[in-house]
Chains A and B, each alone.
Chain A
Amino acid sequence: MVRSYIVKGIIWKEWRELFRTKTIVATLSIISIMFSIILPLIFSFALTLEGTDESIPIGGELGNFTTELEKMLAGLYILFLPLFLTLIPIIASSTLAVYSFVGEKERKTLESLLLIPATDFELLISKILSVYIPAIALGFISNLIYFLIVKLYIEVTYSITLLPHPIYLLTVFLLAPTLAFLVVELNVFISIITDNIKTAENLQGTILLPFILLLIGTLSGAVILTLKEILAITITIAIATIGTLKALEKKFTREKLIT
């Protein structure tokens, strides 16, 4: 059984340290602002210049949108751009998680952490949640800001009421959080097996690569996910998170961490 006071204690410590590290807070804020504010503004500006008849990737399931303009706007703002926003919790969690154990090792605080009366699983889950919660919160806040800006822009410019599409909702509230959890786990895994932050950061790139490729594919129009595909991917990732957590617990050896 996981003891909540241990998990809360570790999360409390992690957040104190995190929010005091100005560079990390600044980096995450910039990523969030870029994807949620600047990116839709750039696209909207481009749209204003180019007109609305350009070929833009449009998903097949656009619900109640009937006219070509509505479909195009929905395709752009609800299906296409939110994929960038999916990257926010993934990048954020990845940035933070990779330091979880190897960071403590380099700062020579790992021994203290290992001396608290926590089980291996309690330590792991605390470290994962301490990264996952702020990353997901940042993702949700960014999405909210993004959606409000986009909604306002479309209502003012085109007099079209934009409602959240199921694909958008599923991507934001299910796919992105599940994916972010897996990314955190994989980064914690890297953090356990590496001896220094530099090696950990190098390995971290291999985790982010598939997501970047997916994004490039989407940008080129090669990959456009349907509702069913998103659901199927989410379920697959959820199963993978359970397996990864078990593998993490198995791999977590205190002795190897300190010697």
Chain B
Amino acid sequence: MIFLDNVWKRFGRIYAVQGVSLEVNEGEVFGYLGPNGAGKTTTIRIISTLLKPDEGYVEVGGISALEMPEKVREIIGVLPENVNLYENLTGEENLLFFAKVFNLPKSVAEERIREYLEFFGLENRKNDLVGKYSKGMKKRLALARAMLHNPRVLLLDEPTSGLSPEVALEVENLIKRLSERENITIFLSTHNLDLAERLCDRIGIIINGKLVLVEETRKVETFTSEVIIKIRQKARNYENILEKWSYQIVENHIILKVVNYGEEVPKIIKDLVQNGAEILEVYPKRETLWDVYMRVIRGG
């Protein structure tokens, strides 16, 4: 649904995007992660036809973003990081404007606007100027605007930033619902790794304009070759038993590197118990998205 092939973008001497190639499938939620200034927003702007790449090819829904940008804009909905709403118009008028320029029939537009205003809890404030809205309300309205024309692709730039936890959760649930029910493709740029972990089918990490990792989210959270043994006593007391292995001790936790989990772990536990250790928990160490992200951006 979204296809980028060797995309480059430079601003002056700075390369914002360097040879990014990426394919996002229909109905997929793709998380685009990276530190500030990594090139996330530039990539979204290239996909949404606001910027033209210096090199490379971009396609959305089978349409070339370089040759038919207005056709691409018809099938995408964009939530920019700064919501960019018309503050001198009411909430309802903001949506109505977009309904008009996307050529929604009047009855459909009215119905959909009513539905979204209700869904986002803005029904009672629909006749207020957006300038009087709170940050969270603006974000909700901007999301409603992005979805108003039933886009096939939704590009979300930091959708939950600046929102209170309960509104962020609402937005998160909505994104989840959209991806499940509407089969909409979602390209989500975020700093929020927990959100990405919960929502995204796949994630990509961009650093200094280079896409350094693309992986299925469930595969990112892999088991490592380490096992954690939690005991009641101080773990330092049992260092003589552990000396054959590579290990770390954090208070009453022993983090042990093992090669053969099935053979080595029962043996260690047996030795520990025989030496008076009371085992509380034994579990394999998992590498979370957070661990992977930090490892990647630190150049691991």
Contact = CB atoms under 8 A, between A and B. Distances in A.
Interface residues of B, number: 29
Given A17-B88, A255-B50, A255-B51, A117 B70 contact: yes
B179 interface: no
A229 interface: no
A6 B103 CA distance: 8
B135 to A, nearest CB: 14
A117 B101 contact: yes
A20 B88 contact: yes
Contact of A10 (B73, B87, B101, B103): B101
Contacts of A116: 73, 98, 101-102
A16 B74 contact: no
Contacts of B49: 254
Max chain A C-beta neighbours (<10 A), residue from B49, B85, B97, B98: B97
A117 B71 contact: yes
Interface residues of A, number: 28
Interface in B5-24: 11
Contact of A114 (B50, B89, B103): B50
Interface stretch (A103-111, A132-140, A173-181, A201-209): A103-111
A8 B100 contact: yes
A111 B70 contact: no
Given A9-B97, A117-B73, A117-B102, A259 B88 contact: no
Contacts of A43: none
Given A17-B86, A21-B88, A108-B84, A12 B50 contact: no
A235 interface: no
A119 B50 contact: no
B100 A115 contact: no
B224 interface: no
B152 to A, nearest CB: 13
13 contacts: A8-B100, A9-B100, A12-B100, A13-B86, A16-B88, A16-B89, A17-B86, A17-B89, A21-B88, A110-B84, A116-B101, A116-B102, A117-B102
Q: What 4 A-B pairs come out closest when comparing CB atoms?
A: A9-B100, A9-B101, A112-B84, A117-B73
